């Protein structure tokens, strides 16, 4: 991507959660618990990240017993590079531990989306 | 609680249909996860978040606001027409003539939402809140013109603002002729596009003719077109120029409105008009200076100078037009300000823009912070 872009603090938190286990497929509730974001915040971020091909999304394969199929997410290879760069440029660590119960990073951090 | 959760899940399932096919999976994803969220408030909040996602992705707020706005405009137009029929006796030809004016303004307002949504000079509306507010308030002010005409009718014979000696058949015939002329121009321009200069000249001529025959209708239509053009995405008016011009115009219009109602002897009317024009010129010049100085983002000095002059002119024109529209809303007797205002404003704004372009303030890019100290290069 040639355009410089800024990630919000919440987007950085999602990127940090995904980048922690880049090869694993994660589901929405799992990400929501890890980042402390509400569904109304988390999913629009995932939509934007998927639009920018930073995140890839797919439906769980097969028919799991007792629950519906889940929508799963992980970083693309370009997305991993973008997330790493953005998290390195962010002034505060995007982890939940810094501020329990909420997204840990300041309200808006200007990172670089490469 | 369970019933509420069940209801919200159903709402989310149905609301997903509002999304484009490529986006529906996201609403379904939220619903699929809901079963994993602890029952009670957490699950409820999760589903509400899903509805929020749908509202955002379906651009529902924009659609709702657009429909409410269109409905409000149609209601306002209908109210003005009803008011016009209610307030005075039908036999008076001047009153009937004014009803035709009201109908023209109402028709212009009803087609506004349609014209404003089409991609082109007039729409869609600019993304800034300033552009949207100015568009909304401008349309309301044009609607206010209809109310001002009705109000004048209700006070017919009182005060100095008597309507002129108009005739209904002449106005209708003139409107029909002008409509035919404009249609002929449009068809001719589309069919023989080789000579755009000629068609532009003929269009300008038709406009001048229309203004000479039916001034208030022509002005209302020109203002509607101007409001839409100045607030559309393609508008050449920078956001800051639009804001400064509008605020200046509101102040000037308020002053003119108060002056119209002031008990001033007829002997001083000319002096008053001169004073008003000078005030609009000066305020527009200030608006032009401010708009030009606040313009940034252009590196080339020549280009920046030209752009500043241009934005000064536009800010001044906006200020003059807003002043004219507001003053005419106060009293139809001040309708001349709808012509003089933009002209005086454009002149003042251009002067302000030129002054600002010749005396530029230091560019922001030429300054920086270094080692905690502010330095200028």
Closest CA to B336 of B377, B284, B266, B280: B280
pLDDT at B356 (0 to 100): 87
Average pLDDT over residues A38-64: 90
Does B326 map to a domain? yes
Residues B137-175: pLDDT tens digits?
Answer: 888 888 787 777 766 666 654 333 444 444 556 666 666
CB B148 within 8 A of CB B332: yes
Burial B59-98 (b: 16+ CB within 10 A, else e): eeeeeeebeebbeebeebbeebbebbeeebeeeeebbbbb
Q: Which of B9, B31, B49, B61 is the best substitution to test chain A (most A C-beta atoms within 10 A)?
A: B49
Q: Cβ contacts (< 8 Å) between B50 and chain A: which residues?
A: 39-40, 43
Across the interface, of A28, A47, A57, the residue whose CB is closest to B33 is A28
Q: What CA–CA distance (Å, rounded) separates B182 from B211?
A: 13
Q: Packing angle between helix B129-154 and helix B60-87, nearest 10 degrees?
A: 10
Across the interface, of B25, B46, B56, the residue whose CB is closest to A39 is B46
pTM: 0.56
Q: Which of A26, A29, A67 is the best substitution to test chain B (most B C-beta atoms within 10 A)?
A: A29
Does B299 map to a domain? yes
Please tell me the number of Cα atoms within 13 Å of B168 on its side-chain side: 13
Q: Cβ contacts (< 8 Å) between B30 and chain A: which residues?
A: 28, 39, 43
Q: What CA–CA distance (Å, rounded) separates B376 from B216?
A: 54
Which of B57, B76, B104 marks a domain boundary? Answer: B57
Does A105 map to a domain? no
pLDDT band at B11, cuts 50/70/90? confident
Contacts of B54 (CB under 8 A, 6+ apart): B12, B15, B16, B18, B19, B27, B60
Query: What is the widest separation between alpha-carbon atoms in chain B?
Result: 83
Would the CB atoms of A57 and B33 count as touching at under 8 Å?
Answer: no
Q: Cβ contacts (< 8 Å) between B45 and chain A: which residues?
A: 38-39
Would the CB atoms of B48 and A40 count as touching at under 8 Å?
Answer: yes
Q: Which of B36, B57, B58 is the best substitution to test chain A (most A C-beta atoms within 10 A)?
A: B36
pLDDT band at B93, cuts 50/70/90? low
Does B358 map to a domain? yes
Does B285 map to a domain? yes
Please give the residue range of the domain that contains residue A84.
9-94
Does A104 map to a domain? no
CB B347 within 8 A of CB B311: no
Q: Is the pLDDT of residue B12 over 50?
A: yes
- Chain A and chain B share a number of CB contacts under 8 A equal to 63
Q: What CA–CA distance (Å, rounded) separates B26 from A71?
A: 8
Would the CB atoms of B35 and A67 count as touching at under 8 Å?
Answer: yes
Q: Alpha-carbon Rg of chain A, whole angstroms?
A: 14
pLDDT at B165 (0 to 100): 47
pLDDT at B323 (0 to 100): 93
pLDDT at B60 (0 to 100): 66
Residue of chain B nearest A44, judged by CA positions: B53
CB B231 within 8 A of CB B135: yes
Domain count for chain A: 1
Does B353 map to a domain? yes
Does A82 map to a domain? yes
Please name the helix (run of DSSP H) or strand (run of DSSP E) that holds residue B302, with its range, or none.
helix B301-330
pLDDT at B324 (0 to 100): 92
Q: Packing angle between helix A9-20 and helix A28-35, nearest 10 degrees?
A: 120
Does B169 map to a domain? no
pLDDT band at B178, cuts 50/70/90? low
Across the interface, of B29, B37, B49, the residue whose CB is closest to A71 is B29
Q: Does A4 touch chain B (CB under 8 A)?
A: no
Does A3 map to a domain? no
Domain count for chain B: 2
CATH code for the domain in which residue A38 is found: 1.10.10.10
CB B53 within 8 A of CB A40: yes
pLDDT band at B97, cuts 50/70/90? low
Token digits for A18?
């995904």
Residues B204-246: pLDDT tens digits?
Answer: 777 777 666 667 777 887 888 889 889 988 888 998 999 999 9
Would the CB atoms of A47 and B57 count as touching at under 8 Å?
Answer: yes
Would the CB atoms of A43 and B25 count as touching at under 8 Å?
Answer: no
- State how far the alpha carbon of B172 is from the alpha carbons of B97, B163, B325, in Å: 9, 17, 24
Which of B42, B57, B72 marks a domain boundary? Answer: B57
Could you tell me how far CA B102 lies from the centroid of its own chain? Answer: 19
Q: Does A29 touch chain B (CB under 8 A)?
A: yes
Please give the residue range of the domain that contains residue B337.
236-366
Give B66 to chain A, closest Cα distance, Å. Answer: 23
Which of B19, B41, B57 marks a domain boundary? Answer: B57
Q: Cβ contacts (< 8 Å) between A44 and chain B: which residues?
A: 53, 56-57
């Amino acid at each position: 991507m040639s355009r410089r872009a800024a990630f919000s603090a919440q987007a950085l938190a999602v990127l940090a959660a995904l980048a922690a286990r880049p090869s694993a497929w994660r589901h929405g509730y799992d990400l929501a618990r890890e980042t402390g974001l509400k569904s109304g915040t988390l999913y629009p971020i995932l939509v934007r990240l998927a639009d920018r091909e930073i995140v890839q999304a797919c439906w769980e394969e097969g028919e799991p017993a007792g629950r519906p199929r889940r929508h799963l997410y992980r970083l693309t290879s370009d997305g991993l590079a973008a997330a790493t760069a953005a998290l390195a440029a962010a002034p505060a660590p995007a982890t939940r531990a810094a501020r329990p119960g909420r997204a840990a990073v300041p309200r808006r951090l200007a990172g670089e989306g490469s | 609680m369970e019933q509420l959760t069940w209801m919200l899940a159903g709402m989310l399932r149905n609301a997903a249909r509002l999304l484009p096919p490529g986006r529906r999976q996201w609403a379904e994803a939220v619903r699929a996860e809901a079963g994993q969220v602890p029952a009670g408030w957490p699950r409820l909040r999760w589903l509400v978040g899903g509805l929020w996602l749908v509202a955002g992705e379906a651009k529902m707020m924009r659609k709702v606001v657009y429909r409410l706005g269109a409905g409000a405009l149609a209601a306002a137009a209908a109210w003005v027409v009803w008011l016009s029929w209610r307030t005075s006796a039908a036999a008076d030809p001047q009153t009937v003539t004014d009803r035709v004016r009201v109908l023209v303004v109402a028709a212009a307002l009803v087609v506004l939402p349609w014209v404003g949504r089409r991609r082109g000079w007039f729409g869609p509306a600019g993304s800034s809140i300033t552009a949207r507010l100015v568009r909304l308030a401008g349309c309301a002010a044009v609607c206010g013109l209809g109310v001002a005409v009705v109000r004048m009718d209700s006070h017919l014979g009182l005060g100095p603002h008597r309507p002129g000696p108009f005739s209904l058949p002449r106005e209708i015939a003139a409107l029909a002729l002008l409509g035919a002329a404009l249609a002929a121009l449009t068809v001719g321009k589309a069919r023989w596009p080789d000579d755009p200069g000629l068609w532009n000249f003929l269009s300008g001529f038709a406009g001048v003719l229309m203004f000479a025959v039916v001034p208030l209708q022509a002005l209302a239509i020109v203002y509607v077109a101007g409001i839409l053009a100045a607030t559309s995405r393609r508008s050449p008016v920078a956001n800051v120029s639009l804001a400064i011009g509008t605020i200046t115009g509101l102040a000037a219009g308020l002053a003119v409105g108060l002056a119209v109602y002031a008990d001033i002897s007829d002997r001083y009317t000319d002096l008053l008009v001169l004073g008003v024009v000078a005030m609009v010129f000066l305020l527009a010049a200030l608006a032009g200076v401010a708009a030009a100085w606040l313009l940034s983002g252009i590196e080339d000095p020549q280009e920046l100078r030209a752009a500043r002059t241009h934005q000064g002119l536009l800010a001044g024109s906006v200020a003059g037009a807003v002043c004219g529209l507001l003053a005419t809303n106060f009293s139809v007797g001040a309708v001349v300000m709808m012509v003089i205002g933009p002209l005086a404003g454009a002149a003042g704004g251009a002067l302000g823009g030129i002054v600002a372009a010749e005396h530029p303030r230091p560019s922001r890019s030429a300054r920086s912070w270094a080692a905690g100290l502010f330095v200028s290069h």
